[in-house]
Structure 1
Amino acid sequence: MKFTAVASLAAMGLLAAAPLTAQERVTYKSAKTGSSYYQMGVELAEAMKTGTDGAISVTVEESQGSVQNVMEVRARGGDYVFTTPPALVGAAQGAKGPFEGKGAPAFDEIRALFPIPSLTMHFVVAEKAGAQGLEDLAGKSVLLGSGSFGATEGEKYLELFGLTDSVEIADSELSNAVAALKNGQIDAFVTAGSYPAPNVIEAAASTPVTILSMTDEQVAETGRTRLVIPAGTYAGQDSDVVTTSLPVVAYATTKMSDDTAYTMTKTFWEEREALADSAKWWAAVTPDLLENITTQIHPGALRYYEEIGAPITDAQR
């Protein structure tokens, strides 16, 4: 009878996961110190501590980039959690792109836990420049910066939409963008970051700006993921902005126990609202972003998603 009762509870999803028997120590590797993604790691570590009453202790470790994060899977254990765009996991498992000739069996053991804020493209233009769409950048001076995803992506879009020869590229670093826009030295700058992006907040607060919206046709042409920045995200932004994004996901490997993966995933979603209250970029993370995961989800995380009825595809199982 006792067994039947327990089985019934389990079938109804009312049994909690087995508690962690000791403090689990996890290393979370994301991005360079000082970046928004490193700050997210710090926030996530605190949320894990709070949400598990200290049962999971997360140490945030600086990273030089997403490729490095994936490569380190080969030498890491079950306590390793890292962030990267889903496409890079697929590339590693297929020994393609930056992983060509560097394939490893460990890559096949990578499993997703939960999405984090996406890298979001922002085309920020001084309002007085009168631009309403990407095509209006013709004849304008644009600061792209260098060495970042936003700079590379921005340059690609200028070429893709036939603007390379009609746009003056400002020779300056992205860190100078807000001051240069405010002083009229440039007409626009391009940046990528989870929204609301700090430099875009600063720009919109210091001078009237327009954040350019893309058409669905333009988004499709870029091959990136469509994303909507809701109206009111930035000062003076009265309508939604359609743009592109690069999804980012937190991953572990099959070396991580199912219970730890379950607890981390459950805690993340249960603490997400509190995270969003202290840092608005977490508000952009919803279960809809699970569709951006293109490889398998960790069995422990999958258990949680099945409990809450999240939409999971066969390819993610």
Structure 2
Amino acid sequence: MINAKFVSAALALGLIAGAASAETRVTYKSAKTGSSYYQMGVELAEAMKAGTDGEISVTVEESQGSVQNVMEVRARGGDYVFTTPPALVGLAQGGKAMFEGKGDPKFDEIRALFPIPSLTMHFVMSADSGATSLADLEGKTILLGKGSFGATEGEKYLGLFGLTDSVEIADAELSNAVAALKNGQIDGFVTAGSFPAPNVVEVAASMPVTVISMSDAEVEETGRTKLVIPAGTYAGQGSDIVTTSLPVAAFTTTAMDDDTAYALTKTYWEQKAKMADASPWWAGVTPELMANITGAYHPGALRYYNEAGMTVTASE
């Protein structure tokens, strides 16, 4: 006959053991598989596991883009973390642009956690082209690629600075840019991603190139955020490069509990230096990037920022 006290004790021990081994599961939705931002998600998941001794488990999900990430807020719960430019959150909450007619009360529950590497514009020109400024693109053959933020933004800049009719656009995919520049088929290419951008690192290591620096007036005309790529980021880069960027951040909603949001934020900043040792793009994230997040922060994230003495742009 089984002793009732033994059964009760065993059950109690089982419950204790279960509680001790419990982990918080989080879904992190970022970008397409194979992109730098998907790779960042993988690195962040590993950092969260290491920094919390396995107490937080992050599953990285592929995404078709930032708009989809925001839209999924409507059907997700408190375990959902996603990346998007802060500007898109504002558009969703206002029911504007691509969110017109698609508004949802859950958009108002979106809250920021922390900034991640920005989408950074690079105009990469062969040294032989002689181009050192945007004006020098006149008469040159440029590869923009298709369908990406960099392609759309690059085309926009050509129009802004009166270069649309004087620049020949190569009909090729961005994946062919490095080979085409090496072979002299193009004079330069435009790419956007976190810096240092892998394709720029590759081409700069194999041939002399110039990543064009913009004037403050040019940056202001684009309406984008100014970003400085430090000297020495790329081979042969002797001075800082002034360019434009689209800030990106990690968000969740008020459905996430405060302790989880706190742990995610705290671990992110504490692990960032180790992540940067493995992947230099994390070195581009500094507390100053928090100024680009204009919406509200999650209360759990705010708890960490207050403890750390870091300035935030919202009090909610």
Aligned twin of 1:76: 76
Q: Distance in 1 between matches of 2:193 and 2:179?
A: 19
**Alignment correspondent of 2:85:** 85
Distance 2:113 2:311 in 1: 14
Q: Is the 8 A contact 1:113 1:297 kept in 2?
A: yes
The alpha-carbon deviation at position 308 of structure 1 amounts to: 1.0
| CA drift at 1:312 | 1.9
Matches of 1:20 and 1:235, distance apart in 2: 49
Q: Unmatched 5+ residue regions in structure 1?
A: 1-18
What do residues 1-56 of structure 1 show as CA deviations (whole Å, max 9, x unaligned)?
xxxxxxxxxxxxxxxxxx99931000000000000000000000000000000000
| In 1: Cα distance, 2:190 partner to 2:51 partner | 37
Letter in 1 for 2:44: L
- Counterpart residue number, 2:174: 174
Q: 2:118 maps to which residue?
A: 118
2:9 maps to none
Count, aligned residues: 298
Give secondary structure in 2 for the equivalent of 1:67. Answer: helix
Partner of 1:274: 274
The separation in 1 between residues aligned to 2:110 and 2:306, in whole angstroms, is: 20
Matched, 1:222 2:219: no
Question: Can you list the C-alpha shifts for 1:82-138, whole angstroms capped at 9, x where unaligned?
Answer: 000000000000000110000000000000000000000000000011111100000
TM-score when normalising by structure 2: 0.93
SS class of match (1:70): helix
CA distance in 1, matches of 2:264, 2:274: 15
Number of the residue aligned with 1:242: 242
1:230–1:241: 8 Å Cα contact kept in structure 2?
Answer: yes
Paired residue secondary structure (2:50): helix
Aligned counterpart, 1:96:
96
Q: Which residue is 1:44 aligned to?
A: 44
Distance 1:42 1:78 in 2: 20
Rounded Cα–Cα distance in structure 1 between residues aligned with 2:132 and 2:41: 35
Residue in 2 that maps onto 1:312: 312
- State the match for 1:140 in structure 2: 140
Structure-2 separation of matches of 1:130 and 1:306: 49
Find the aligned partners of 1:62 and 1:311 in 2 and give their Cα distance.
Answer: 32
| Partner SS state of residue 226, structure 1 | strand
1:157 is paired with a residue whose SS is helix
Instruction: Give the aligned partner of residue 22 of structure 1.
Output: 22
1:259 aligns with 2:263: no
Give the whole-Å Cα distance in 2 for the aligned partners of 1:219 and 1:282. Answer: 23
Show the counterpart of 1:288: 288
Letter of the aligned partner of 1:303 in structure 2? Answer: R
Q: Which amino acid aligns with 2:172?
A: S
Q: Distance in 2 between matches of 1:169 and 1:71?
A: 34
Task: Supply the distance in 2 between the matched residues of 1:303 and 1:224 (Cα, whole angstroms).
Answer: 30
- Residues 28 and 81 of structure 1 are in contact (CA less than 8 Å); yes or no, is this contact kept in structure 2? yes
Over alpha carbons, which structure has the higher Rg? 2
Give secondary structure in 2 for the equivalent of 1:172.
coil
The AA in structure 2 aligned to 1:240 is D
Conservation of the 8 A alpha-carbon contact between 1:143 and 1:186: yes
Describe the SS at the equivalent of 1:250: strand
Find the counterpart in structure 2 of residue 55 from structure 1: 55
> Does 2:201 match 1:209?
no
- TM-score using structure 1 length: 0.93
Shift of 1:311: 1.2
Corresponding residue for residue 157 of structure 1:
157
Distance in 2 of aligned mates of 1:312 and 1:141:
43
Give 1:271's aligned amino acid.
Q
- Measure how far apart 1:309 and its partner are: 1.0
Name the Cα RMSD after superposition: 1.2
- Whether the 8 Å contact between 1:145 and 1:172 is mirrored in structure 2 is yes
Amino acid at match of 1:122: H
Cα distance in 2 between the residues matched to 1:267 and 1:26: 14
For the 8 Å contact 1:232–1:238, the answer to whether it is kept is yes
Q: Sort the Cα spacing of 1:262 and 1:88 in 2 relative to 1 into closer, same or farther, 3 A.
A: same
* CA distance in 2 between partners of 1:54 and 1:47 (Å): 10
Change in CA separation of 1:316 and 1:198 when aligned onto 2, cut-off 3 Å: farther
Asked whether the 8 Å contact 1:27–1:59 carries over to 2, the reply is yes
